[in-house]
Amino acid sequence: MIVGLLGGGVIGAGWAARWVLNGHDVQIFDPDPEAPRKVNEVLTQARRAYAKLLTRDLPPEGALTFAPSVATAVEGAVFVQESAPERLDVKQMLLGRADEVADPSVILASSTSGLLPSAMQAGLRHPERLVVGHPFNPVYLLPLVEVCPGPATTMQVVNDTAAIYSSLGMHPLTLRKEIDGFVADRLLEALWREALWLVNDGVATTSEIDDAIRFGAGLRWSFMGTFLVYRIAGGESGMRHFMAQFGPALQWPWTKLTDVPELTDDLLDTIVSQSDEQASGRSIRELEALRDDCIVAVLQGLRAARPGGYAAGATLDQFDHHAPVDVIVDDDADRALRSPLSTMQRRVTADWLDYNGHVNDSRYMQLSSEATDEFLRSIGSGDAGEGGGSYFTAESHLAYYLQAFEGDELTVEVRVLDHDPKRLRIWTDITRNDELVATAEHMLLHVDRATGRVSSAPRPVLDMLGVVSAAHESLPMPHGAGRSIGQPRTKR
């Protein structure tokens, strides 16, 4: 499919990335001589984001060409998207030219964030094919696109446009009538104007205003809008109760902008019945659980997005700091002789369970791998290790003895079974209240990162290994060490 794009700014470049990465050919017209560089920079960001976002393979990328005119950009295209600056005259000129040269079957969509489709339809030969498709930045990642027909637009064009956007992984929201600013930007502008007042009046800085959103309501808005959120806040008595409780606040002087709709019985009835429909029979408790699960998922996502977390993810990271790893070398020889070398604790969270309702087998491998990494760091290897080398795992053998469930506290104990300058054989016991849940045995090889070849570990690491091995020499070999699959088990 060939797509014609008119305008290659932040929005146009975002469209180009979404189309190209979905395998479509893009012809883009932008008079700015810098446009090719700028569009390609956005495309690079988008490639990077998609590599993280998607598990499946993307189709081969479409071709991106820069057209010298509207006519060449539109030539052969089955869909045209205009993303020029928000000036009606500029948009009318570009769309008018496209309307002259494109086959009448070609849809002309405008990215305008606020101009009315009727104004853009005026003067077109084929106004029935013009529709607004208003996306949000970054266009290649945010799913929302408002599809807004003008009075002349056909339903066929509206439906086809929505279907095309869906095929690109977007969520089209078709509006029932045209209105300045459509729906989303009316909401965003209302908040934005209020934010400008707060700066203007010296109440808060831009950074404080941003924090007032992203550590609070913004977390909810990533998955639920205000109406559903407020319905839940109303508790057991639902939307009518919430409106009764907070309705009067609308009349309070909370903002500079006091023109407020009157909460008539009619408006109240409309809101309550639409809210009921939206909740589609789910109880407040179900909705609360859904809301909480989503907040948890968002917080955990933001914690993982950057080391130490970002925004509310950083707050969570501090709140949920791991218990420090307890490394015993030779300062407590007696304890060191009896116990394995280092331990790690981990509570089982719900995302570790599989369809059997118990911890998925691969999570034991993860636990053992994390504990082994902690151990490697404690002997001066690992990510903070000296020199250009690191231990790579060559083989692992796991045995699963008991099931573990959500909320279980699992302890991983690491010990060294054997080592030489290049090889390190590690044993981990995973226990719950001293009961053995699983074991894992790993053979690690020390690899020189520069050459990719097996090499001797640095002297300080080997010295540490010597100390800890000597302290454990008298410990018996664990049951199951060296076992292969299918061998009869020995009882522990």
Q: Is 292 in the site for a copy of itself (CB under 8 A)?
A: yes
Instruction: Check: CB of residue 429 under 8 Å from CB of residue 399.
Output: no
- Within residues 352-411, the interface with a copy of itself by CB under 8 A covers 354-356, 360-362, 365-366, 368-370, 373, 382-383, 390, 392-400, 403, 406-407, 409
Q: Is 492 in the site for a copy of itself (CB under 8 A)?
A: no
The rounded distance, in Å, linking the Cα atoms of 414 and 374 is 9
Q: Is 349 in the site for a copy of itself (CB under 8 A)?
A: yes
Q: From edge to edge, which strands make up the β-sheet containing 171-174?
A: 64-67, 25-29, 2-6, 79-82, 107-110, 130-135, 144-149, 171-174
Considering only the stretches 73-81, 125-133, 154-162, 292-300, report the one whose residues sit in contact with a copy of itself under the rule CB under 8 A.
292-300
Binder of a copy of itself out of 301, 386, 451, 466 (CB under 8 A): 301
Considering only the stretches 70-78, 101-109, 289-297, 331-339, report the one whose residues sit in contact with a copy of itself under the rule CB under 8 A.
289-297
- Within residues 195-214, the interface with a copy of itself by CB under 8 A covers 195-200, 202-214
**Closest approach of a copy of itself to the CB of residue 122, in Å:** 18
Beta partners for 411?
A: 345, 431
Binder of a copy of itself out of 36, 76, 96, 169 (CB under 8 A): 169
Tell me the H-state helices in 339-391: 361-378
Q: How many CB atoms lie within 10 A of CB 232?
A: 21
Cβ distance to a copy of itself smaller for residue 86 or 332: 86
486, two tokens: 């299918």
- Within residues 12-71, the interface with a copy of itself by CB under 8 A covers 38, 41, 45, 48-49, 51-57
- Within residues 452-491, the interface with a copy of itself by CB under 8 A covers 452, 481-487
The rounded distance, in Å, linking the Cα atoms of 89 and 488 is 81
Cβ distance to a copy of itself smaller for residue 221 or 333: 221
Q: How many CB atoms lie within 10 A of CB 279?
A: 18
**Closest approach of a copy of itself to the CB of residue 179, in Å:** 5
Instruction: Check: CB of residue 45 under 8 Å from CB of residue 16.
Output: no
**Closest approach of a copy of itself to the CB of residue 284, in Å:** 10
Q: Is 159 in the site for a copy of itself (CB under 8 A)?
A: no
**279 Cβ neighbours under 8 A, 6+ residues apart:** 228, 231, 287
Query: ∠33-34-35 over CA atoms, to 5°?
Result: 90
**Closest approach of a copy of itself to the CB of residue 387, in Å:** 14
